[in-house]
Each structure stands twice: as structure tokens, then as C-alpha cells.
């Protein structure tokens, strides 16, 4: 029994302790909701602690360590400029519905989440639709996620979804029945 206990104790001393690691990516998650006449996109942006300074440098343009309403608006518009929405080969403009910023101290910890609610008008009333969304915002440090929720409207049916390997490009085929 002593040998067994000694062997267990020895094995435990060989194991390396688990350390929490710093998050080194700017996670950008887009969730798309389909409606007959528009698309709603909820974009959640979380800067990991290791890349916070790079992200914050683009937000805090006056370098005062806080984020003003004007800086929030400017950053949200910069993010939207880096998104490309194409529906059936036609570029679509996304409008900003709302902007939410966390406290700066949470962002520094990699815990704060910037949330943008966007709306993209859809002009074609029915038939097969192909949406392509590309996110080019801060590509060097970003990790992307894109998905579509199941439509509430039974006349909308998701046919297929495809993503690039890094998920910066998302293709959604869907049908609208009249």
C-alpha cells in the first residue's frame, strides 16, 4: 500500500500546474436573423487581453483612456465599413440600429463585449436568395464566427450555409416563399 501511495504522490508531483492563458485574439461573432424585408445582424466583439491595446488604439482616438459617445459612433461606423454584405450579387448597406460598449476596465481584462445591432434592407420579395457576408475588420488579430438563427417566419427556409476556413466569409442560401 505504501508503494502505491508513493507512486500516486510521485505521479502528482510530475504533473505541471494548469495556468490560465491570456486571450490573444479579437473575437468577432456575427449572428444573422432573417426577415422577409431585412436581415438583422448582431455583432459581438471581444478583444482578448493580449490584443486589447491594439483594439483600443482604434477606439480611443483622442488617447484619454475613456470612450466618448463620438468615439463609439466612429468605431461602430469603422467596423461596418469593414463588413461587406452582398445579396444576390448586389452590395447592400448595413445601418446601425444600436451600439453598446462595456466599461474600459472590463475590456482590458478581455471580458468586455462591444455589441452592434445592424439592419440590412432586403429588396427582393421572394424566391431564392444568396447572402455573402465578409468581415475584414482587424484581420491580423481576429477570430471570426458567423451563423444564422432559424427564421421565425415559416416562409423563410435556410437552404445551406458555407464558411471560409477562418469564418471571415460566410455564404447563406435561403428561400422565401410567397
Decide if pLDDT at 20 tops 90.
no
More confident residue, 177 or 2: 177
Residues listed for the chain = 178
Q: Are 92 and 120 in contact (CB under 8 A)?
A: yes
Domain boundaries, the chain: 21-176
What pLDDT score was predicted for residue 161?
Answer: 97
pLDDT digit string, tens, across residues 73-109:
999 999 999 999 999 999 999 999 999 999 999 999 9
User: Average pLDDT over the chain, rounded to whole?
Assistant: 88
> In whole angstroms, how far apart are CA 1 and each of 11, 15, 43?
15, 22, 58
Give per-residue burial for 57-88: e unless 16+ CB within 10 Å, then b.
eebbeeeeeebeeebbeebbeebbeebebebe
Q: In angstroms, rounded to a whole number, what is the distance separating the alpha carbons of residues 67 and 65?
A: 7
Amino acid at each position: 500500500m505504501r508503494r502505491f501511495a508513493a507512486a500516486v504522490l510521485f505521479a502528482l508531483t510530475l504533473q505541471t500546474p494548469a495556468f490560465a492563458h491570456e486571450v490573444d485574439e479579437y473575437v468577432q461573432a456575427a449572428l444573422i436573423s432573417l426577415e422577409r424585408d431585412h436581415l438583422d445582424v448582431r455583432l459581438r466583439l471581444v478583444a482578448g487581453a493580449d490584443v486589447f491595446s491594439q483594439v483600443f488604439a482604434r477606439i480611443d482616438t483622442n488617447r484619454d483612456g475613456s470612450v466618448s459617445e463620438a468615439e463609439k459612433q466612429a468605431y461602430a461606423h469603422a467596423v461596418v465599413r469593414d463588413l461587406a454584405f452582398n445579396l444576390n450579387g448586389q452590395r447592400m448597406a448595413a445601418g446601425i440600429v444600436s451600439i453598446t460598449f462595456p466599461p474600459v476596465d472590463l475590456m482590458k481584462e478581455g471580458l468586455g463585449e462591444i455589441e452592434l445591432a445592424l439592419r440590412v434592407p432586403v429588396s427582393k420579395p421572394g424566391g431564392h436568395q444568396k447572402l455573402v457576408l465578409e468581415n475584414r475588420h482587424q484581420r491580423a488579430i481576429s477570430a471570426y464566427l458567423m451563423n444564422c438563427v432559424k427564421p421565425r417566419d415559416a416562409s423563410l427556409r435556410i437552404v445551406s450555409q458555407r464558411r471560409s476556413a477562418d469564418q471571415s466569409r460566410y455564404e447563406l442560401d435561403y428561400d422565401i416563399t410567397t
